């Protein structure tokens, strides 16, 4: 937002935020919330060796729809470490009991910490005031780096680990979806007029990009749309 210029007044630059953008519906909605709050968005997508690389294509579409000032796709090959079915080590869990508290095989060790660290570096360069991340502590797959205490801890780290923080300009780690159910997230996005058909969520899509319908992410998404009383327009195309 800018203020009118006049005697004694100067134009005020809009706040900037680095958005961690996966191409899924959560980061899309988080970005829309930040945009509505007046942030200019700098979108960062990480190609980390994930088997569901279809989400990179979705991220490009979402970044354009959100009007991101710039969108960077960064290559950091976590598949070299292994340790997760999402980077090709073992099979993606299907039809398992959701919300049972167990950490599934799709957990990628330290992924959010790595992603947030990359976002932190770019945030300092562009003079961002916040990093926006679409993590959620309610309807998620049991990942330890999707909890409120994790977000709080990383924000403390960002304050002591950066020039901006030392100079009294600490970056905010904003997780606007943290305490929302998947249905509530979808309702928020639909209220903004978001086109969820642009997004992709499936952990193990077919070669065509069509969702498997059985992984945790597909099932959480389907449950969210059902509870929100809405149709998932992605199912008519390649998304999840």
pLDDT at residue 239 tops 60? no
Can you give the pLDDT at residue 148? Answer: 92
Can you give the pLDDT at residue 124? Answer: 96
Number of separate helices (H) and strands (E) present in the chain: 7, 5
Question: How many domains, the chain?
Answer: 1
Can you give the pLDDT at residue 236? Answer: 56
Q: Which segments of the chain are extended strands (E)? A: 16-20, 40-47, 70-75, 130-132, 172-174
Can you give the pLDDT at residue 137? Answer: 85
Does residue 239 fall inside a structural domain?
Answer: no
* In contact, 129 and 204? CB cutoff 8 Å: no
* pTM, entire model: 0.90
Does residue 110 fall inside a structural domain?
Answer: yes
Does residue 154 fall inside a structural domain?
Answer: yes
148-196, pLDDT tens digit by residue? 999 999 999 999 999 999 999 999 999 999 999 999 999 999 999 999 9
- Split at pLDDT 50, 70, 90, the class of 235 is confident
| SS3 call for 73 | strand
Does residue 204 fall inside a structural domain?
Answer: no
Does residue 133 fall inside a structural domain?
Answer: yes
Task: Please give the average per-residue pLDDT across 92-120, as a whole number.
Answer: 89
Does residue 199 fall inside a structural domain?
Answer: no
Q: Which of 131, 108, 125, 104 is nearest to 39 (CA)?
A: 131
205-214, pLDDT tens digit by residue? 988 888 999 9
Does residue 57 fall inside a structural domain?
Answer: yes
Q: Which domain holds residue 132?
A: 16-194
In whole angstroms, give the CA distance from residue 93 to residue 192: 33
Does residue 94 fall inside a structural domain?
Answer: yes
19-52, pLDDT tens digit by residue? 999 999 999 999 999 999 999 999 999 999 998 8
3-state SS track over 208-237 = CCCCCCCEHHHHHHHHHHHHHCCCCHHHHC
CATH of the domain at 168: 3.40.50.620
109-159, pLDDT tens digit by residue? 999 999 999 999 999 999 999 999 999 987 666 788 989 999 999 999 999
């Amino acid at each position: 937002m800018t203020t009118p210029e006049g005697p004694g007044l100067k134009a005020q630059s809009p706040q900037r935020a680095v958005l961690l953008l996966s191409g899924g519906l959560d980061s899309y909605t988080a970005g829309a919330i930040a945009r509505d709050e007046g942030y200019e968005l700098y979108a960062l997508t990480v190609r980390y060796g994930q088997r569901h690389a279809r989400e990179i294509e979705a991220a490009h579409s979402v970044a354009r729809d959100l009007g991101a000032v710039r969108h960077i796709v960064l290559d950091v090959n976590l598949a070299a470490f292994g340790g997760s079915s999402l980077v090709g080590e073992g099979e993606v869990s299907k039809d398992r009991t959701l919300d049972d508290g167990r950490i599934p095989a799709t957990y990628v060790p330290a992924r959010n910490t790595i992603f947030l660290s990359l976002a932190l570096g770019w945030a300092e360069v562009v003079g961002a005031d916040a990093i926006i991340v679409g993590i959620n502590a309610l309807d998620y797959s049991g990942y330890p780096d999707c909890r409120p205490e994790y977000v709080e801890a990383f924000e403390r780290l960002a304050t002591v680990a950066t020039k901006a923080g030392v100079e009294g300009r600490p970056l905010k780690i904003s997780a606007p979806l943290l305490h929302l159910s998947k249905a509530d997230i979808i309702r928020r996005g639909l209220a903004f007029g978001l086109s969820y058909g642009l997004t992709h969520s499936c952990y193990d899509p077919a070669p065509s990009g069509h969702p498997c319908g059985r992984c945790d992410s597909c099932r959480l998404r389907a449950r969210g749309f059902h509870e929100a009383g809405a149709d998932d327009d992605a199912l008519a195309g390649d998304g999840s």
